[in-house]
Amino acid sequence: MVEALKKDPLWKGRRGPVLLVIMDGVGYGKYKEGDAVADSKMYHLDAIKAKSPSVKLKAHGKAVGLPSDDDMGNSEVGHNAMGCGRVFNQGAALVSSAIATGALFQGQAWKEIIAQTAAPPAASSRLPTLHFIGLFSDGNVHSHLDHLKAMIRQAKKEGVKRIRVHVLFDGRDVGETSALDYVDPFEVFLKEESTGGLDARIGSGGGRMWITMDRYGAEWAMVERGWKTHVHGEGRQFASTREAVETYRKEIPGIIDQDLKEFVIAEGGKPIGTIEDGDSVIYFNFRGDRSLEITAAFEEDNFDKFDRGRRPRVCYAGMMEYDGDTHVPKRYLVSPPAIDRTMGEYLAATGIRTLAISETQKYGHVTYFFNGNRTGKFDDQLEDYVEIKSDVVPFEQRPWMKCAEITDEVLKAIPSGKYDFIRLNFPNGDMVGHTGVYQAVVCSMEGMDLQIGRLAKAVEEAGGVMVITADHGNSDDMFEHNKKTGEVVYKDDGTPKAKTSHSLNPVPCIIYDPEYQGEYLNKTGEGGLLQGLGISSIAATCIQLLGYLPPPDYDKSVLNQPTPPQADGVWLVR
C-alpha cells in the first residue's frame, strides 16, 4: 500500500479534469519521405501545439528499460514507463541477463522442462520432444532469436535429443518480407546443432497476425488455427519452411510475413512436429499480451474458446510470467520486473477518481500495462475502465478504428464531474502503421485529429487540462531508408518499400491548459518545458497537473520551474 500524495501548495487548481491522450505510435519523423504523421492534415493537433508548450520525449531504448538505444520502444514498455513514473529493466533485458548469467538454466521451470524431455524413454515409447513456439525474429519486442538459440544449445548440452521449433513470422517489428532472412541461417544453425544424436528441425508455422498471437480476445480463431497447426499438425504440408514461404508469396501477391498462412512440415505425408503426451513446450515470447491466449489453451482445464480436440499432457512454460495477478503461466523461465507504486495506485490512495478507456486493441495498455502489469483495479469505487470493442477487420480497411467511439464516451465523462483524471489510448497510429499501407495511415491520423479537436473543445469548456503524448513512434516512419545514406529504399516496381515496425523517433508531449494560472513556464512551443526526458516523466507531469507533489523518486515532470518556488517559508525542490 502507498500513502496518499501530498497537495502541491503552489497549485491554484482547475475546474475540470486532467485528460491524458496517448496517440499510440505517433512520433516525430527523422525523414520527410515516409513520415505519414507530418504528411497528414492534423489541423487540430497543430493548432493546439501552436498555442501550448511542448517537448519531445524519448520513447525507446534505455529510456523505457530496453537493453540499448538501438531497441525500438513498444506499447507495453511505453505504458509501463508512463504509468509507473520510473524506468524498469524490461523483458528483453531481463531475459538476456538471465541467459548470460545462466540463471534461466538454473531455475526450477527449466529443470522441469529438461527432466521431461531429456530422460531416456522406455524401449516401447517415442522419443520425447522439446517444442519451442514464438515470434521468429530479432525484433526484440516480443522475442529474440538469440534467446531461442541459447536455449536450444543448452537443451542439447543437457541431453535433449529431439527439438521442434514452431515459427511465427514477424514482418512487423522487422522488415515486412524478411522471413527468409531468418529462416535460411536458422536452418543452418539447426543442422549444425543436430549432432550427437540431436534431431532439431522446424515443425510448423505461419504469420503472427494469422495464427497463435491474438491478444485481448480480439480473434480467438487465430489461436485455434495455431493450436491445430502446432499441436495436431493440421494444415497445408510442405517439405521445407522456405518452400512454404515462397509458395504463399507466389499464390498471394503482396502478402507480407505477418499474414502468411499456416504450414506444416511433413515427410511422407506425416507431420514431423506434432505435440504429444510427454513432450515439453516453451513459448519463448517474453511479452505478455500476445502470450496469454495460447497459454490458456495449453494450461486451462475448463477452456471454452474453441474445441481443442486432443489436448496433449505436456510440461508447458512461458518465457516470463505474463500475468502477475493470476500467475499465468503456472511455469515460467524468467521473472518479470517487479513494478510497484504506480501512478494508478497513488491516485487511488489519494481519492482521485479515474477513467481509463480504449478499444480492445489497446484496452490492456491503459489498464494492465499502465498499472505495472497488474490485472484489475486499485479501487473499484474510484476507478472505471471502459473497453470499446474493436472491429475484427484488417486495420487498413477501417483506419479510423474506434477513435470516434472512444471520444464519444470521453465527451460524456468530461462534463459529468465524475472524474478527476481520464486516460485514453487512440490505437490508430500503431495498429494501422503496422499494415504498411501509407494511405490508410494518413487516413487514420486525420480521423484521430478530428477527435482531438472534439476533446480540446470539451476540455476548454470544462476548464481542464489535456496532456497529449505517445508511447512510441511508428506512423512517423513508414518507408525503409538506407541506414548509411538515409535515402528511401525502393522495390522492383519503383514504389517505396514499406516499413511496418516501430521507429526510434521521439514522441510529443503537449500541455494544453486553457485556464493556465502561472504555476509553470507556459512558453509556446518547444523550450517552455524541460528537455531531454523520457515518457516516464508523464506520470509526475499528470500528478502535478492534478495538484499534487509527485513521489520523490519518480522521474521529473516536464513542467519547467527554473527557480525553486517558495510557499509558506518552505523551499520546494522540483
Residues with catalytic function: 75
Count of CB atoms situated within 10 Å of the CB of 523? 13
CA atoms within 13 A on the CB side of 151: 34
Angle 295-342-331 from CA coordinates, rounded to 5°? 25
Residues 385 and 216 sit within 8 Å (Cβ to Cβ): no
Residues 414, 462 contacting (CB under 8 angstroms): yes
Q: What are phi and psi of 181, to 5 degrees?
A: -65, -20
Which residues are CB-neighbours of 15 under 8 A, at least 6 positions away? 462, 463, 464, 515
Closest to 199 (Cα-Cα) out of 150, 277, 129: 129
C-alpha distances in Å from residue 57, one per residue of 365, 471, 510, 557: 19, 10, 10, 11
Which residues neighbour 52 within 8 Å (Cβ) at sequence distance 6 or greater?
510, 511, 512, 513, 524
Contact 282, 151 (CB under 8 A): yes
Strands (E) across 116-233 are located at 130-135, 162-169, 199-207
DSSP letters for 343-384: HHHHHHHHT--EEEEEEHHHHHIIIIITTTS--S-S-TTTEE
Rounded Cα distance, 150 and 560, in Å: 47
Instruction: Find cell 515470434 and name the residue.
Output: 135
Place of cell 517474453: 286
List C-alpha distances in Å: 535 to 144, 169, 457: 24, 30, 25
Cβ pair 276, 126 in contact under 8 A? yes
Distances (CA, A) of 331 to 293, 335, 421: 15, 10, 37
Find out whether 326 and 373 touch, Cβ atoms under 8 Å.
no
Beta strands 354-359 and 383-388 are parallel
The label of the residue with cell 502489469 reads: 373
Angstrom distances, CA of residue 327 to CA of 323, 324, 361, 515: 5, 5, 22, 45
What is the secondary structure of 373-403 as a DSSP string?
S--S-S-TTTEEEEEEPPPSS-GGGSTTTTH
Question: Residues 329, 321, 259, CA angle at the centre, nearest 5°?
Answer: 80
Residue 382 has φ and ψ, to the nearest 5°, of -100, -15
Instruction: Find out whether 422 and 414 touch, Cβ atoms under 8 Å.
Output: yes
